[in-house]
């Protein structure tokens, strides 16, 4: 069977399994596909537009891009807390609407203050809808099908990452303004669809969750419940390593590739592995391994992926093999890490837990990228940076094993 035919067959399997879920869950899958399609058709080309199209200095380009990342990472916890307070649906709709405004503003913004404001809006939008979407998916799928739902969610997530840059490069070839307008229209349509078809029960906020004593129902009690959860902190810190390692598909691997051809192949391989393998990998692991074992295995695989470039150097074979193994590891991890967040929350303030989790991992990515960059400056492209990244993965796997052996992940 050809590669194209195989990919179509896998896509058909994804669609068949998607149809077994309720309409609300299917809508959340469509939501994430469209979010990533709109985001990745625009953001990869924003830096070039700012530098070449608007003639901005490098520091100004970095400021605009950094504003988006700062507003999103810094507001995840707030977005999750609001979702638990006001309901999942209002935050999902508000986030999509705000990103419509942000992308629309990027189409016409010329001055630095306007560009920063638009960038802040796009980042804040992600902080509003990301925790809410995941918490809503967990609630709508139910405990029995959460892992399966998050596996499909990741397949749609990766499909958006694969399709977005392809659509974006075609539109940007006409004009970057057209790309922004199309992305804004996509989010506007998504806002209307969510507003009309996302069920009312998705507006229930913490309803259906285990309610605490009356004194704990205020915002202070909500944050105290989440922030004092020591096991959740340890789990989040251990999982941060997976995000640092997976982000190297965007940092160390493209830098090592040094050319657009290999860099493009890295993203294509990563997305295709997820699309083709996610459901089979999840089905295989569910039959043979516990949730805790899957977390340990995924982290160990992520670390082991960097042995390929350490042994084979900067050639395309080692880099593509590393990207493929990282994608397999992420397919192993993602459904179970999302499920573990819900399990550790004990069904209380789920979106707030997702918000805190995203914040911790986002800070970890920033620090990890700084460390990786510094190591590359000192050691160049020797085996040392790859072995250091491997050690991060194995260290996080060991930490997760300690948590699992203590029974803390199972007990929540």
CATH number at residue 104: 1.20.1250.20
Looking at the fold, whether 172 and 294 belong to one and the same domain comes out as no
Looking at the fold, whether 355 and 382 belong to one and the same domain comes out as yes
Looking at the fold, whether 160 and 273 belong to one and the same domain comes out as no
Q: How many domains does the chain have?
A: 2
The first and second tokens of residue 58, run together, are 């490098």
pLDDT at residue 80, as a whole number: 93
Burial (0-12, 13-18, 19+ Cβ within 10 Å), 249:
buried
Q: Which of 157, 173, 208 is the last residue of a domain?
A: 208
Q: What is the pTM of this model?
A: 0.85
pLDDT at residue 260, as a whole number: 67
The first and second tokens of residue 341, run together, are 């967040």
Looking at the fold, whether 201 and 237 belong to one and the same domain comes out as no
In the chain (412 residues long), the average pLDDT of successive 10-residue segments reads 42 81 93 94 86 85 84 90 92 96 93 93 94 93 92 93 89 92 96 88 47 52 85 95 91 82 84 89 94 96 96 91 96 95 90 93 87 87 92 96 84 48
Is 292 domain-assigned? yes
Instruction: For residues 348 and 350, give the distance between their C-alpha atoms in angstroms, rounded to a whole number.
Output: 5
Burial (0-12, 13-18, 19+ Cβ within 10 Å), 198:
buried
Is 8 domain-assigned? no
pLDDT at residue 305, as a whole number: 97
Instruction: For residues 316 and 321, give the distance between their C-alpha atoms in angstroms, rounded to a whole number.
Output: 8
Domain span at residue 237 reads 222-404
pLDDT at residue 207, as a whole number: 42
pLDDT at residue 369, as a whole number: 84
pLDDT at residue 10, as a whole number: 52
């Amino acid at each position: 069977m050809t590669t194209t035919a195989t990919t179509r067959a896998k896509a058909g399997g994804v669609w068949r399994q998607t149809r077994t879920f309720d309409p609300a869950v299917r809508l959340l899958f469509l939501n994430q596909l469209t979010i990533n399609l709109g985001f990745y058709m625009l953001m990869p080309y924003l830096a070039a537009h700012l530098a070449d199209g608007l003639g901005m200095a490098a520091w100004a380009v970095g400021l605009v891009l950094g504003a988006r990342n700062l507003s999103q990472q810094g507001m995840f916890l707030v977005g999750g807390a609001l979702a638990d307070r006001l309901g999942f649906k209002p935050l999902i709709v508000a986030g999509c609407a705000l990103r419509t405004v942000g992308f629309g503003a990027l189409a016409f913004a010329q001055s630095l203050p306007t560009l920063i404001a638009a960038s802040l809006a796009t980042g804040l939008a992600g902080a509003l809808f990301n925790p809410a979407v995941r918490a809503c998916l967990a609630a709508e799928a139910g405990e029995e099908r959460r892992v399966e739902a998050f596996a499909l969610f990741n397949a749609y997530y990766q499909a958006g990452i694969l399709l977005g840059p392809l659509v974006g490069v075609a539109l940007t070839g006409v004009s970057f303004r057209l790309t922004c307008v199309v992305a804004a229209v996509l989010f506007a349509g998504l806002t209307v669809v969510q507003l009309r078809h996302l069920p009312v029960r998705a507006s229930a906020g913490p309803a259906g969750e285990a309610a605490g004593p009356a004194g704990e129902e205020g915002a202070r009690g909500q944050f105290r419940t989440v922030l004092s959860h020591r096991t959740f902190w340890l789990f989040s810190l251990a999982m941060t390593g997976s995000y640092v390692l997976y982000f190297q598909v965007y940092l160390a691997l493209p830098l090592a590739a040094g050319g657009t051809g290999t860099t493009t192949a890295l993203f294509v391989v990563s997305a295709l592995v997820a699309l083709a393998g996610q459901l089979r990998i999840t089905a295989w692991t569910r039959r043979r391994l516990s949730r805790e074992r899957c977390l340990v295995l995924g982290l160990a695989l992520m670390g082991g992926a960097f042995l390929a470039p350490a042994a084979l150097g900067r050639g395309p074979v080692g880099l593509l093999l590393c990207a493929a193994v990282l994608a397999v590891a992420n397919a192993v991890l993602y459904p179970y890490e999302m499920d573990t967040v819900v399990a550790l929350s004990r069904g209380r303030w789920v979106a707030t837990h997702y918000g805190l989790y995203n914040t911790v991992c986002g800070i970890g990515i920033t620090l990890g990228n700084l460390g990786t960059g510094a190591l590359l400056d000192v050691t160049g492209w020797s085996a040392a940076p790859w072995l250091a990244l491997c050690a991060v993965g194995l260290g996080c796997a060991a930490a997760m094993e300690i948590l699992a052996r203590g029974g803390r992940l199972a007990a929540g």
